[in-house]
Structure 1
Amino acid sequence: MSDLTNLGVKAIRDGVAAGDFTAREVAEAFNANVAAAADLNAFIVTTPEHALAAADAVDAKRAAGEELGTMAGVPIGMKDLFATRGVQTTAASAILEGFKPEYESTVSQKLWDAGAGMLGKLNLDQFAMGSSNETSHFGNVANPWKANDGGNAVLAPGGSSGGSSAAVAARLAPAATGTDTGGSIRQPAAFTGISGIKPTYGRCSRWGIVAFASSLDQAGPMARSVEDCAVMLGAMAGFDPKDSTSLDAPVPDWAGALNADLRGKKVGIPKEYRMDGTDAEILASWDDGIAWLKDAGAEVVDVSLPHTKYALPAYYIVAPAEASSNLARYDGVRYGLRDLPEGAGLQDMYAATRAAGFGPEVKRRIMLGTYVLSAGFYDAYYTQAMKVRTLIQRDFNEAFDKCDVILAPTTPTAAFPLGDKLDDPLAMYLNDVFSVPASLAGLPAMSVPSRLNAKGLPLGLQLVGKAMDEQMVLNAGLAIEQRSGFDAQPEKWW
Structure 2
Amino acid sequence: MPICKFRFWFLIIFIFNICSIEEQSLVKWVPYDETAELKDNSKNSLKRLRFQRIQSKHQDKNSFFSPFKKELLGFTKKEYERLKPLILEKSILEIQDNVQKGLVSYEKICLFYLFRMYYFETNRDTYLNAIISLNPDVLNRAKQRDKERKKQINHPLYGIPILIKDNIDALPMSTTAGSAAFKNNIPNNDSFLVKRLKEKGALILGKVNLSEWAYYFCQDCPLGYSALGGQTLNPYGRKIFETGGSSSGSGVAVAANYSVAAIGTETSGSILSPSGKNSVVGLKPTIGSISRNGIIPISSSLDTAGPMAKSVMDTAILMNALVGFDSTDEYSYNSEPIFYQGLDTVTLQGKSFGIFEKYEKDSLVKVSLDLIRKAGAKIISFKAPEIELQNFIKLLDIDMKSDLPKYIKNSTNKKLPFDSINDIVNFNKMDSLLHAPYGQENFTRLVKVNISQNQFRKTKHEMMKLAKSYFKVIKSQNLDAVISIDSEDAKFAALAHFPALGIPMGYKRNGQPQNITFIAPSKKEQILLNIGAAYEKINPVRNTPDLFK
TM-score band w.r.t. shorter chain:
0.7 to 0.9
Which SS does the other structure have where 1:244 is aligned?
A: coil
Residue 353 (structure 1) aligned with residue 427 (structure 2): yes
Q: Residues 254 and 393 of structure 1: is their aligned pair in 2 closer, same or farther, counting only changes over 3 Å?
A: farther
Shift in Å, 1:387: 1.3
> Is 1:288 the equivalent of 2:362?
no
- Asked if residue 318 in structure 1 is aligned to residue 395 in structure 2, the reply is yes
- Deviations, residues 439-475 of structure 1 (Å, cap 9, x unaligned): 1111110111111111112111111012111122112
- Kindly provide the amino acid, as one letter, of the partner of residue 96 in structure 2: R
Q: Secondary structure of 1:288's match?
A: helix
Alignment partner, residue 50 of structure 1: 137
Partner residue, 1:99? 185
Query: What is the rounded CA distance, in whole Å, between the counterparts of 1:329 and 1:269 in structure 2?
Result: 40
Structure 1 segment 120-131 matched on structure 2, within 5 A: 120-129=206-215
Instruction: Note the C-alpha offset of 1:16.
Output: 2.2
Alignment of 1:315-464 (within 5 A): 315-328=392-405, 335=414, 337-338=416-417, 352-353=426-427, 355-356=429-430, 359=436, 363-369=440-446, 373-374=450-451, 383-384=458-459, 386-402=461-477, 403-411=479-487, 433-464=488-519
Q: What is the alpha-carbon distance in structure 2 between the residues aligned to residue 228 and residue 390 of structure 1?
A: 33
Q: Is the 8 A contact 2:425 2:440 kept in 1?
A: no
Alignment partner of 1:324: what SS? helix
Q: Distance in 1 between the 2:372 and 2:311 partners?
A: 17
Greater RCO between the two (CA within 8 Å, min separation 6)?
A: 1
Q: Residue 50 of structure 1: CA displacement?
A: 3.1
| Kept in 2: contact 1:52–1:117 (CA 8 A) | no
Once residues 77 and 395 of structure 1 are traced to their aligned partners in structure 2, the CA distance between those partners, rounded to angstroms, is 34
Distance in 1 separating the partners of 2:460 and 2:339? 36
Per-residue deviation, 1:284: 1.6
1:370 shift after superposition: 5.4
1:467 counterpart SS class = coil
Q: Do 1:23 and 1:56's aligned partners in 2 also have CA atoms closer than 8 Å?
A: yes
Alignment-derived partner of residue 84 in structure 2: 2
Q: Contact 1:77–1:175 at 8 Å: present in 2 too? A: yes
In structure 1, C-alpha distance between the alignment counterparts of 2:418 and 2:156, rounded to whole Å: 45
Say if 2:327 is the partner of 1:252. Answer: no
| TM-score scaled by length of structure 2 | 0.75
- Note if 1:183 corresponds to 2:269: yes
Give the aligned partner of residue 29 of structure 1.
Answer: 112
Structure-2 change in CA distance of 1:102 and 1:69 (3 Å): same
Judged with a 3 Å threshold, the aligned counterparts in structure 2 of structure 1 residues 66 and 267 are, in CA distance, closer, same or farther, namely same
Determine the structure 2 residue equivalent to 1:423. none
Paired residue for 2:258, among 169, 172, 176?
Answer: 172
Distance in 1 separating the partners of 2:270 and 2:501: 11
Partner-residue secondary structure (3-state), 1:76: strand
CA distance in 2, matches of 1:298, 1:336: 57
Give the aligned partner of residue 114 of structure 1. 200
Alpha-carbon deviation of 1:330? 8.3
Question: Against the structure 1 CA distance between its residues 16 and 182, is the aligned structure 2 distance closer, same or farther, given a 3 Å change threshold?
Answer: same
My pick for the range that moved more, 97-106 or 54-63, is 54-63
Once the two structures are superposed, residues 10-48 of structure 1 have per-residue CA deviations (whole angstroms, 9 ceiling, x without a partner) of 22233324434211121111111122232211111112x
Could you tell me which amino acid in structure 1 is paired with residue 538 of structure 2? R
Q: Distance in 1 between matches of 2:210 and 2:269?
A: 13
Residues 254-285 of structure 1 deviation map (CA, whole Å, 9 limit, x = unaligned): 444565312222111133x449xxxx6xx121
Q: Residue 11 in 1 paired to residue 94 in 2?
A: yes
The 3-state SS of whatever aligns with 1:37 is helix
The unaligned stretches of length 5 or more in structure 2 are 1-82, 122-126, 217-221
**Partner deviation per Cα, 1:260-313 (whole Å, 9 max, x = no partner):** 312222111133x449xxxx6xx1212222222212211112345415x414x4
Deviation at 1:246? 0.7
**Aligned partner letter, 1:143:** N
Residue aligned with 2:515, SS:
strand
Would you say the 8 A contact 2:346–2:530 is kept in 1? Answer: yes
3-state SS in 2 of match to 1:302: strand
**Contact 1:77/1:177 (CA < 8 Å) preserved in 2?**
yes
Deviations 1:162-191 (A, max 9, x none): 111111111111100000110111110100
Q: Distance in 2 between matches of 1:217 and 1:360?
A: 26
For 1:222, the aligned partner's letter is: M
Alpha-carbon contact 1:125-1:136 (below 8 Å) kept: no
Of residues 277, 282, 288, the one that matches 1:202 is: 288
- Greater shift after overlay, 180-189 or 83-92? 83-92
Cα distance in 1 for residues equivalent to 2:326 and 2:438: 32
In 2 relative to 1, CA 92–372 (structure 1 residues): closer, same or farther, beyond 3 Å? Answer: same
Q: Aligned letter for 1:14?
A: D
**Contact 1:45–1:122 under 8 Å retained in 2:** yes
SS in 1 for 2:205: strand
- State the match for 1:430 in structure 2: none
Answer yes or no: is the 8 Å Cα contact 1:258–1:475 preserved in 2: no
Structure 2: distance between partners of 1:473 and 1:136:
36
Matched, 1:41 2:129: yes
Give the Cα separation in 1 of the matches to 2:428 and 2:416: 9
User: Quick one: structure 1 residues 186 and 351, their matched pair in 2 at CA, closer, same or farther if it must change by over 3 Å?
Assistant: closer
Q: CA deviation at 1:478?
A: 1.9
Deviations 1:296-346 (A, max 9, x none): 211112345415x414x4432322221222234588997465389xxxxx9
**Among 307, 311, 329, which residue is 1:225 paired with?**
311
- Establish whether residue 159 from structure 1 lines up as the match of residue 245 from structure 2: yes
Q: 1:330 to 1:229 in 2, by over 3 A?
A: closer
Give 1:306's aligned residue.
385
Q: Whole-Å Cα distance in 1 between the matches of residues 370 and 422 of structure 2?
A: 61
CA RMSD of aligned residues (A): 3.1
